[in-house]
């Protein structure tokens, strides 16, 4: 189809003669006269004097209400034309016409765009005029009962409803076209097997819709990308250990914008499969294409637990799965699923090791601001609020000088061998105090290691005395400060479990110096 570009010198436009006033009048008279032509009935050999009479005849004698059929099947002008030509071409019965379901219609084929009857008056009106033509034959008595304005209002409402339905169908088609275009950009389809790179799989919605929806917001990805400790550590680990990635097949679980996938591709990976359930995958597609990496990176939308990869095994799994207090969000569960299903026997998971540490905090001012504050709020007692405030773990950047003990590692995780059940645990710990003061809280943080098979090892920490990250630290406020002295050991026990009502959240129970409190991280 040729498109008009607005060019005044268009040769096609020069070949089209202008309509004179007489031509225009003739065209208008032809339109106005279409209603006065005789019309052959759609369902029998009877000839009627007008479209209106034919419509009423079909309804009265054959039990077929043409305007009602148009509305039932939500036909636009093209659908209406196809239906008329189909009826005339196939000479179908009224019964078969009325039995048509809302599924694939028998007249959907473009072959029915060709007029079955030359100069058919039924094809010279649109679907809106058809309803109006049907209304013309109302008896005088009926016309008196239904005011003209009410008729017009109903007709306008019908037209508006059809327009809304047509718009909804157009938006749905546009979405499908978008997915098709993105598939063509990456030149693949997962159904064609592992030899075709750049595949996009459209998968069903999962039960964690709210969680994945949050990762469709660009601000989250901006925050993570701007976290230099996080992003540069992954980059340095891959760029400094290119021998690990050369010619390997890499799986990126929860790829987000695709930054880790692109690092892996630049580090020499032969093929990278990037998986993400959130809508950010569509931006990742554009990003990959913009960086001319679509021949190496395959993008798949869906949960890793619910899709089939275009390969049987991968050599390396990379993922930035860490949440607050390391285990919040439970994304490590998905990485372990991918490991157990797709990782080759001698494959690697990165990061390969991580640990969680605790330390004592002494900050009586902050404790007073957050806990004692409720004893007197503008002259009113709100002490009961303490019971609600204390169990909420606080994610914040802690001042390093408020740490009053040496750290204690409470959990070490080997990502190559740990099981999901081992991510819930209870252990004893002891904190060696470094300052005589009051312990007002316990702080938790984690360290990440890229170590196995790496000649150039990389690690980073989210400890209070290290460069700030978007994970910050997790602070567990004590209900009452505990007096401590330099050199003594502060004993405790910690239990970490998933929240059964929200498996991505954590319940953390701390017992310090005989005082027990359960905190939620959500």
Residues assigned a catalytic role = 320, 329
What percent of the chain is helix, strand and coil (3-state, nearest 5)? Answer: 40, 25, 35
HEC assignment per residue over 308-339: CCCCCCEEEEECCCCECCECCCCHHHHHHHHH
Strand partners, 431: 490
Q: How many residues does the chain have?
A: 522
The answer to whether 371 touches 384, Cβ cutoff 8 Å, is no
Dihedral angle sign, alpha carbons of residues 238, 243, 246, 251: negative
Of 251, 265, 314, the residue nearest 294 (C-alpha) = 265
Tokens of 174: 């546009």
The answer to whether 320 touches 289, Cβ cutoff 8 Å, is no
The answer to whether 240 touches 218, Cβ cutoff 8 Å, is no
Please measure the distance between the N-terminal and C-terminal CA atoms of the chain and give it in whole angstroms: 56
Residue 399 is inside which H or E element, if any? Answer: none
Peptide bond into 146 cis (omega under 30): no
The answer to whether 176 touches 202, Cβ cutoff 8 Å, is no
CA atoms of 348 and 273, how far apart (whole Å)? 15
């Amino acid at each position: 189809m040729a498109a008009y570009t607005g060019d005044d010198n268009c040769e096609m436009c020069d070949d089209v003669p202008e309509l004179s006033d007489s031509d225009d009048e003739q065209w208008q008279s032809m339109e106005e006269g279409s209603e006065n032509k005789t019309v052959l009935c759609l369902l029998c050999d009877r000839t009627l004097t007008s479209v209106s009479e034919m419509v009423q005849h079909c309804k009265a004698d054959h039990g077929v209400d043409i305007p009602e059929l148009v509305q039932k099947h939500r036909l636009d002008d093209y659908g209406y034309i196809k239906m008329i030509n189909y009826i005339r071409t196939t000479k179908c019965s009224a019964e078969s016409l009325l039995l048509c379901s809302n599924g694939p219609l028998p007249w959907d084929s473009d072959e029915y765009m060709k007029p079955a009857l030359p100069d058919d008056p039924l094809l010279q009106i649109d679907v809106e005029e058809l309803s109006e033509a049907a209304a013309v034959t109302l008896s005088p008595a009926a016309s008196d009962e239904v005011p003209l304005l009410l008729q017009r209002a109903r007709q306008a409402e019908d037209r508006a409803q059809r327009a809304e339905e047509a718009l909804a169908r157009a938006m749905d088609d546009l979405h499908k076209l978008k997915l098709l275009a993105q598939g063509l950009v990456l030149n693949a389809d997962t159904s064609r097997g592992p030899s075709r790179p750049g595949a996009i799989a459209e998968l069903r919605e999962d039960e964690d819709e709210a969680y994945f929806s949050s990762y469709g917001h660009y601000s989250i990805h901006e925050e993570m990308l701007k976290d230099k400790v996080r992003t540069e550590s992954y980059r340095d680990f891959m760029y400094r250990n290119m021998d690990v990635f050369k010619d390997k097949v890499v799986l990126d679980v929860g790829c987000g914008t695709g930054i880790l996938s692109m690092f892996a591709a630049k580090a020499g990976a032969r093929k990278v499969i990037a998986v993400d359930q959130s809508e950010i995958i569509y931006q990742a597609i554009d990003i990959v294409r913009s960086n001319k990496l679509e021949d190496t990176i395959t993008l798949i939308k869906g949960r890793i637990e619910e899709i089939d990869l275009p390969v049987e095994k991968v050599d390396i799994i990379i993922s930035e799965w860490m949440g607050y207090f390391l285990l919040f969000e439970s994304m490590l569960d998905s990485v372990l699923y991918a490991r157990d299903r797709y990782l080759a026997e001698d494959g690697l998971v990165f990061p390969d090791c991580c640990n969680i540490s605790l330390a004592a905090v002494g900050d009586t001012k902050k404790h007073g601001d957050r806990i004692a504050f409720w004893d007197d709020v503008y002259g009113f007692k709100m002490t009961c609020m303490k019971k609600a405030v204390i169990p909420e773990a606080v994610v914040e950047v802690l001042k390093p000088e408020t740490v009053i003990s040496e750290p204690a590692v409470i959990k070490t995780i080997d990502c190559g061998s740990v099981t999901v059940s081992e991510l819930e645990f209870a252990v004893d710990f002891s904190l060696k105090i470094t300052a005589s003061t009051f312990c007002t809280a316990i702080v938790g943080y984690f360290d990440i290691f890229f170590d196995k098979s790496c000649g150039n090892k990389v690690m980073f920490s989210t400890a209070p005395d290290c460069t700030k990250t978007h994970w910050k630290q997790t602070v567990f406020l004590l209900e009452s400060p505990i007096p401590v002295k330099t050199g003594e050991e502060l004993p405790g026990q910690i239990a970490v479990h998933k929240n059964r009502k929200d498996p991505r959240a954590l319940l953390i129970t701390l017992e310090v110096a005989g005082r027990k409190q359960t905190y939620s991280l959500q």
